[in-house]
Structure 1
Amino acid sequence: MTITFMIVPGQAAWAQEQGGTTQAQTQEQGGTVQGQVTAAYGDPLWGVSVAAKGTKRSVQTDMKGNYTLTGLPPGEVTLDVRGEGFMSQSRKVTVSADAPAQANFALELDLLAVEEIVVTAQTPDRKVRSSTAISTLNEEEIKARMPRSTADLMRVVPGFYVESSGGEVGGNLFVRGLPADGSYRYVALMEDGMPVFDSTELFFVNNDIFVRVDETLERVEAVRGGTSALYGSNAPGGVVNFISKTGGDKLAGTIKASTATAGLYRFDANLNGPIGDDWRFSVGGFYRFDNGVRYPGFPASTGGQFKGSLLRNFNTDKVNGHVRATFKYLNDRNTFYLPLPLRGRFGGDGRLTGYDFVEGFPIDGTLTSPEGVNSQVPLPRGAGLLDLPLGNGQQQIGGSATAELRLYFPEGRWEVQDNLRVMQMNHSWNAMLPFELRDADAWARSVVGEGTPYRLTCVNAPGSPAFGSGECSTPNNLVNLGGQWLVNKPMSNVSNQLRFTKYGSLGATEHTLSGGLYLGYYTVGNSWYFNDIVTDVRSRPRFLELQVLDGSGNVVRNVTQNGFRRYLSNYTNGTGNATIAAAFLGDEVKIGEKFRIDLAGRVERNAYQQNVERTAAFDLGDPTTTADDNALFGTGKFQRVNVSLTDWALSGGVNYALSDTASVYARSSRGYKMPLLDQYLTATDPSDPAFPQTPEMLWQNEAGIKLGASWYALAAVAYWLQIENFPSQDARVDPVTGDTSFVTVYAGKARTLGLELEAAVQPIKWFRAQGMLTVQDPRYTEFNEGANDFSGNRIRRIPQVIGDVTGTFMYGNATLGINWNYVGHRFSNNANTVDLPGYSQFNVRAGYTYENFTLDLQLFNALNSIGLTEGNPRVDESIGAVPDIFLARPVLPRRLMLSLTARL
């Protein structure tokens, strides 16, 4: 259940909470206050809200920071002033009907937005008063980041380790050292308070496929730790809420055109504002064409999205609130980048000390090939030919619609909110996967037998010259034993959240009692077609043909056919659905002005149904090749799995205010993670050890401090967590037979000790620095994988140190930002025998604004780091055939981007 509280974003929301509007008031009878609002360093601030408490009078400052507030009752009036990115101020002013009163304000910077109203919480409140670890990014910070992908945007959040080396979608997010095999396993992604999908991950689905960052996005709120188990279904590690623009009181918008090296062209736009007094709208989206920083020989990314919303505010003596409808259509595809060939250098202890790409492979290369586009493979049982649309990459076609109703009744001080979301998406996953690198001659002889003549040729090269000569020549003389996989996954989701909130007092305490119900239903189809291929090792490789010859040089048989060494090495066909029902109840208690306690619990039941087609091996009958001798396909008979599981979460926290901009807090919680629906595709027998029997259980304890001042801000939290009954799962490929198997081990227990820091300073007007640091020790405490006991080992793929620092220089209308990102040493396997060294990247941004136009220049990975984000998870890395050669996925290479933005 998503426990969120939607407020109209921006200054309009705050003004409404004050009981006013943000439209400039006409001259009326009564007193007047006028003045100017500036930053502490003297610059005028426009768009800042100035509201008179207890009245319906508010106004926004103009371009020079000036305001005039009219129609005020004579006497003492309290003015509240709030501007995004600045500390709010309140001041009492004596108003007279005879002459305007003067009140000027100088606002201090709010460097970590400690005063921001956070809506992704049990009760909306200022971030500094929350007993939860929360990080926020406003619109300007998002634009300054100019992220290459949705995952890229989240690497500035402490406790989040992000792998975004796969391209624009399909990123991995690991939170607080929790063991995962990728994706967003313990983190829910939301749009406007509702999950983008009711499962945080599925096989071949990382939830960032549902979210794109464009000009329709207003801000991002990232909650991590204990309370996230209450906000999102099966998200005990964290919740990331992408909050869309709704439109303010004035017509506003942006048009943005971007281009970049390696053939990127992109257009973004948004228009939002009022329709009359009570209606607000927002429309926008993007379209992008990109050859790709690792050009595969065809466009790597094409497509875009359209988003729109319409909101109606109402305010009467009996009730106020809003109703809102949103719509999103997404039609996009992105090539998925996978591990690449590297040659390593190793120290005396066997640890990797250095590496580079193998001979002849460029830094911007890819093992995806245009020769795989629209390949065809034969299907058993007279099913004809199957097209493999490699050019589609990860493709999503579909959309979502959301309806939201929020009502507040002042007399009874209670509120009701209902959110309904409907989603349908056709997702396909197409990729060429590398499994193992072998010396070409050694591999061929291992297949045909020692002493047997053979010929290894390029399939599509003119005249099909022999491998190692002519157009088939490669400096490394390697072959890649890999796969070309097609996965089709149609998905749908209907979810509804109903929430009630009651505000009241009991003695000297103030209470916010909230409760609600969440219902969700989603369906997932699965059609998997895995095929084994062999190629050479170069950027955009060639498919290879291996032929057995007789003594006269005649072809006896083809080991491969058109580069395929086995058709349908794996086949999966299934349809499943899941029903979610959850209930929530919590109370936040305010004791005086400084002390707050919150306690909340949640109970959830998931019911799964999965229908899986049985498979059998078929000989397709082509006597000229062995590639079709053992194709797996469906028999037409299905097996059904029905499972229902129930679990609960409980979280309690305290917050003590040291001042208006500083607090300390602590929290303890128990959360859970239900199995994935797709796990019942590969484990259908309850007696199978891989069959999910119970949810995972997660305990977390944390304590932190939040500080804000005129020139610095700091948020720090120390945490301990322990997870039990988590699965460790891999898709493993036997390099000899090509068989693909999903291996699942329920590992027992793991724990993480960690410290998260987030800080910002602006000691002088023209320089600001922001940064985050995560230091953690993630370890398996009980983990047996077969005969191997990995207890005490570090959790694979998780660094102990993560850092991100940005320094921004500002002079007039010009800015220069330098960002440094660091990821520490990791192990790529559970045995901790294959290590990945730490790496860093530099990004540089320069911008200049003239009136309503901004020109931005961004240099990503300025020094062309080839830091490795993961080893090869698909084979046992301890059996590499060439000792110093391995597969790993590097970060994306350098790219220069230029953007021009016009603001209405």
Structure 2
Amino acid sequence: MTQPQTSTASPPAPAKAQQVFSTGVARGRDPLDSATSTSALGQDAIQVLGARSLGDILRNIPGVRTESSTGDGSSAYTIRGLPLASGGSKYMQIQEDGLPVLEFGDFFNGATDIFIRADFNLAAVEAIRGGSASTFASNSPGGVINLISNTGDVEGGAVQVTTGLDYDSNRVDFRYGGPITDTLRFHMGGFYRSGEGQRDAGFRAYEGGQFKFNLTKTFANGYVRLSGKYLDDRSPHYLPGPVRITGTNDNPHFGSFEGYDVRRDFMMSGHLGDVVTLDADNNPAVLRRSQGQDAHVRSIGVESRFDVRDWTIIHRARYSEVSGGTTRNLVSAIYSGSAMPASLGGGAGTFTYATGPNKGQVIADLGAINGNGLVVASALNRVDSSDLGNVISDLRATRVFAVQGGELTLTGGLYNSTQSYRSDWLYSNHLQDIAGGGQSALINYTTPAGVLQSQDGYRGFNRSGSTAFFRRRYDVDYDIAAPYGSINYRLGRIAVGASVRYDAGQVNGQLYGADLGGGRVGILPVDFNGDGVISPAETRTAFTPLDRPAPVDYSYDYVSYSTGINFRVSEPFALFARYSRGARAGADKVLFSSKVSMTDGSMPDPEDGYDIVEQLEGGFKYRTPSLTVNVTGFSADTEDTNVQAGAITTDREYTAYGVETEAAYRRGPFSLTGGVTWTQAEIVNDKFNAAVAGMVPRRQPDFIFQASPQYDSRKVSVGANIIGTTSSWVQDVNQMKMPGYVLVNAFVQYRPRERVQLMLDANNLFDEVAFIEITTPSVPANGIGLGRAANGRTVNLSLRYDF
């Protein structure tokens, strides 16, 4: 994904003498006067990262760990060693102009970053880690990341065309804004893009765009801003695929199989065809494979700020219609064709291609197919999020009093949100070969007696076997009311503050699925091809028992608080310390579990409705015109109820401590920004698996780091963005580690004349193999594993004109 750019390069320079940071705090302040850990990326800094997704941008924020190789959405995010047991962003809230995109950032296959895009509308990204994030936003004890839009403060616009030089990608970005009258201004912008994408799919996997606008009316004592957003976009969902794993657990080796490159291929091939299954209403349907991660958002919002009798009153509200979902190919198991299990026809029968250019052709030697001899059992599935809409309001009032020679700041507010969650899980399963270049095809199996066991490559129209496991419907609404307040007293160089928030949530709705038990049946025969005969595959059709719902009817409440002290030792130097206690509501991760009664929908233990996070942090901030250094030590104790494999499998406590450092230096035309985060994390206990107590959480490295050197002249800018991690355990059992990695993105900008810019940028310049996820816990005897690597090298060329 090409990011916003400006016509003249301006590297991410050290902070100026005065800054104002406003995300997750009571009142915008200079960071050196606030007992918080904050970072900001301006539009100019974002442009040179070589980012292809929002996750690529956010991993450049110190303290933020991002597993970003799934495509435009469904990346996994966490902060400062807080657990990352599943996808999305459980403890970190992603906001757009001060309000959350989704109330919960880790819905199953409905993560926040699916429904937000970074384009020319983006002015800056602000991030607060820990601190007052617990009390100035709901469900965000780890931190808040806020994408802030341009608002037309400066008249002008730009248009840019970007094309991929070594992959199929074409994109147009535009923006324009400025004053209409002395008291009225506007901004509008967006993008449209199309192409196969970074991996060989064999079909157009990216298609769509976004349009946003805002209109600001200023008054003598404030302003009112109306904003709107329309997003209609789709992108592929890159899931784990085959990985060759050899060696020993102490010295493993990871790589690609013959004919399948872990950097460029994925298992959702164009030859698989569309997804045949029952739709959400149990009717036979064909769902477009190319939907991928599709996002449909229509929102309208209003923001106002007025000074009334020494009070500053700020109100933000937004109504959003959000829908979409994820169509993906979930690999269940990978087999050597010469050692197929009997349940899949191993040892007897005939295999033939069911789709692709070789359709109908007999596979003479399954053990030698495509030079790798591998066959995959996988599930083509659609998680259809028909309604993730929300209505959100945040009203606050702040006043500064002169008290005893100092400043006393009082803030009070009320947050309300209503979040819908209507989602259907639709599955089918099949056999396919492993072939690169988007050439993978489905395989049929016929018994020695001549009985076809699969239909057009489908072994069943469920997830696997003969059960209806995971065929589900969620129809739930979350209502949250959260009053909050803070007090801060600043006297000379010392500022002391505290804040508190009370979250009360009501959860109502219904669940549907054979998983609920109680005699709910989930399998029936369906004649999908209409030939009047029920094939063996058609007997294995999962349906949703819509006539036997289970109720959801419970409430929860918790108190969050934070207190801190800041000492401005001198103009360039400050010390701070802070303690915070926050929480995150369980959302969908507690549904379909024993924590919610299947009889009346209640939650017998109210504390099951949320997970507590306690954090202690302290450090220093140093800033001069040429150098900025921020160092923060932290520790965190976290509760986590989560899902790793479809039902509640973790109910844990974690602990973590570490140090995060960020710095920026500039001298003449040269600049350097970067950060390093050192983390030591441990699973304290797990109610369901005592064996993992004392283990390091999976995929938690000791170090994550980023650096961006840059050189600028009048006509040319050149630089790089370097990100990396050290090694980490592949799973919580701590048997095998996956290697760390260093990825380099690079760019060159050339400005041949005023307002014209050419830019060449490369992501993963050296085409490194960097594994983000390995799901296989130890070295397998047959060398066949499952995992996900970063995308290989992709190079963009863009031409921009500013006006």
Decide: shared fold, TM above 0.5.
yes
Look up the match of 1:464.
360
User: Cα deviations across residues 202-250 of structure 1 (Å, max 9, x unaligned)?
Assistant: 11111111211111111110000121111221010010011101112x4
Report the Cα offset of residue 545 of structure 1: 0.5
User: Cα deviations across residues 573-602 of structure 1 (Å, max 9, x unaligned)?
Assistant: 23110100001010111112x111111000
Change (3 A) 1:116 1:742: same
- Give the aligned residue type for 2:109: F
| Residue 843 of structure 1, aligned match among 745, 751, 773 | 745
Look up the match of 2:237.
336
Change (3 A) 1:268 1:697: same
User: Cα deviations across residues 749-788 of structure 1 (Å, max 9, x unaligned)?
Assistant: 21111100001122x31211111101110111223533x4
Report the Cα offset of residue 155 of structure 1: 0.9
Look up the match of 1:590.
490
Look up the match of 2:770.
867
Report the Cα offset of residue 370 of structure 1: 1.3
Look up the match of 1:427.
324
CA distance in 2, matches of 1:447, 1:496: 54
Look up the match of 1:190.
95
Look up the match of 2:400.
503
Tell whether the 8 Å contact from 1:610 to 1:677 is kept in structure 2 after alignment.
no
Change (3 A) 1:351 1:561: farther
CA distance in 1, matches of 2:506, 2:271: 43
| Structure 2 unaligned regions, length at least 5 | 1-6, 464-469, 515-520, 528-532
5 Å matches for 1:196-215? 196-215=101-120
5 Å matches for 1:819-858? 819-849=721-751, 850-858=753-761
- Give the SS at the match of 1:549: coil
Report the Cα offset of residue 377 of structure 1: 3.1
Look up the match of 2:530.
none
CA distance in 2, matches of 1:201, 1:287: 27
Tell whether the 8 Å contact from 1:336 to 1:393 is kept in structure 2 after alignment.
yes
Change (3 A) 1:174 1:463: closer
CA distance in 2, matches of 1:878, 1:600: 46
5 Å matches for 1:144-163? 144-163=48-67
CA distance in 2, matches of 1:895, 1:520: 40
Change (3 A) 1:222 1:631: same
- Give the aligned residue type for 2:538: D
- Give the SS at the match of 1:770: strand
CA distance in 2, matches of 1:639, 1:484: 27
Look up the match of 1:366.
266
User: Cα deviations across residues 360-391 of structure 1 (Å, max 9, x unaligned)?
Assistant: 1134111111133423236799x542212210
User: Cα deviations across residues 61-104 of structure 1 (Å, max 9, x unaligned)?
Assistant: xx9xxxxxxxxxxxxxxxxxxxx999xxxxxxxxxxxxxxxxxx
- Give the aligned residue type for 1:405: S
5 Å matches for 1:374-393? 374-377=274-277, 383-393=282-292
Report the Cα offset of residue 406 of structure 1: 1.0
- Which gives a bigger RCO, structure 1 or 2 (Cα 8 Å, sep 6+)? 2
- Give the aligned residue type for 1:245: N
Change (3 A) 1:380 1:866: closer
Tell whether the 8 Å contact from 2:243 to 2:784 is kept in structure 1 after alignment.
yes
- Give the aligned residue type for 1:670: R
CA distance in 1, matches of 2:297, 2:359: 44
Look up the match of 1:730.
644
| Residue 774 of structure 1, aligned match among 660, 677, 682 | 677
CA distance in 2, matches of 1:611, 1:672: 25
Tell whether the 8 Å contact from 1:468 to 1:477 is kept in structure 2 after alignment.
no
Report the Cα offset of residue 300 of structure 1: 1.4
Look up the match of 1:645.
556
Report the Cα offset of residue 463 of structure 1: 5.5
| Structure 1 unaligned regions, length at least 5 | 1-46, 48-62, 64-83, 87-108, 732-740
CA distance in 1, matches of 2:732, 2:382: 28
| Residue 505 of structure 2, aligned match among 586, 594, 606 | 606
- Give the aligned residue type for 2:289: L
- Give the SS at the match of 2:274: strand
1:266 aligns with 2:196: no
Tell whether the 8 Å contact from 2:243 to 2:787 is kept in structure 1 after alignment.
yes
Tell whether the 8 Å contact from 1:610 to 1:681 is kept in structure 2 after alignment.
no
Scaled by the length of structure 1, the TM-score of the pair is 0.81
- Give the SS at the match of 1:205: coil
- Give the SS at the match of 1:562: coil
Look up the match of 2:471.
571
Look up the match of 2:633.
718
- Give the aligned residue type for 1:353: P
Tell whether the 8 Å contact from 2:424 to 2:472 is kept in structure 1 after alignment.
yes
- Give the aligned residue type for 1:332: D
Look up the match of 2:466.
none
Change (3 A) 1:698 1:678: closer
Tell whether the 8 Å contact from 2:733 to 2:777 is kept in structure 1 after alignment.
no
- Give the aligned residue type for 2:664: A
1:416 aligns with 2:317: no
1:532 aligns with 2:422: no
User: Cα deviations across residues 287-346 of structure 1 (Å, max 9, x unaligned)?
Assistant: 11121111211111110100000001111xxxx000000000000000101112121232
Change (3 A) 1:621 1:384: closer
Change (3 A) 1:524 1:113: farther
Look up the match of 1:701.
616
CA distance in 2, matches of 1:446, 1:242: 50
- Give the aligned residue type for 1:507: Q
| Residue 305 of structure 1, aligned match among 196, 201, 210 | 210
- Give the SS at the match of 1:365: coil
CA distance in 2, matches of 1:659, 1:473: 70
Change (3 A) 1:146 1:379: closer
Tell whether the 8 Å contact from 1:255 to 1:903 is kept in structure 2 after alignment.
yes
Change (3 A) 1:751 1:329: same
CA distance in 2, matches of 1:387, 1:125: 54
- Give the SS at the match of 1:391: helix
Change (3 A) 1:254 1:893: same
Identical columns (%): 25
Look up the match of 1:287.
192
Tell whether the 8 Å contact from 1:85 to 1:113 is kept in structure 2 after alignment.
no
- Higher alpha-carbon Rg: 1
- Kindly report the root-mean-square deviation, in angstroms, between the aligned alpha carbons of the 2 structures: 2.5
CA distance in 2, matches of 1:853, 1:186: 42
1:219 aligns with 2:115: no
Tell whether the 8 Å contact from 2:209 to 2:231 is kept in structure 1 after alignment.
yes
Change (3 A) 1:583 1:170: same
Report the Cα offset of residue 704 of structure 1: 1.2
CA distance in 2, matches of 1:584, 1:438: 55
5 Å matches for 1:449-488? 452-462=348-358, 464-468=360-364, 473-488=369-384
CA distance in 1, matches of 2:311, 2:679: 42
Change (3 A) 1:537 1:128: same
| Count of aligned residue pairs for this structure pair | 768
Look up the match of 1:296.
201
Look up the match of 1:758.
662
Report the Cα offset of residue 172 of structure 1: 1.2
- Give the SS at the match of 1:647: strand
- Give the aligned residue type for 1:701: L
- Give the aligned residue type for 2:483: A
Which stretch has the larger CA shift, 567-576 or 595-604?
567-576
- Give the SS at the match of 2:509: strand
Tell whether the 8 Å contact from 2:94 to 2:146 is kept in structure 1 after alignment.
yes
Change (3 A) 1:472 1:359: closer
Scaled by the length of structure 2, the TM-score of the pair is 0.91
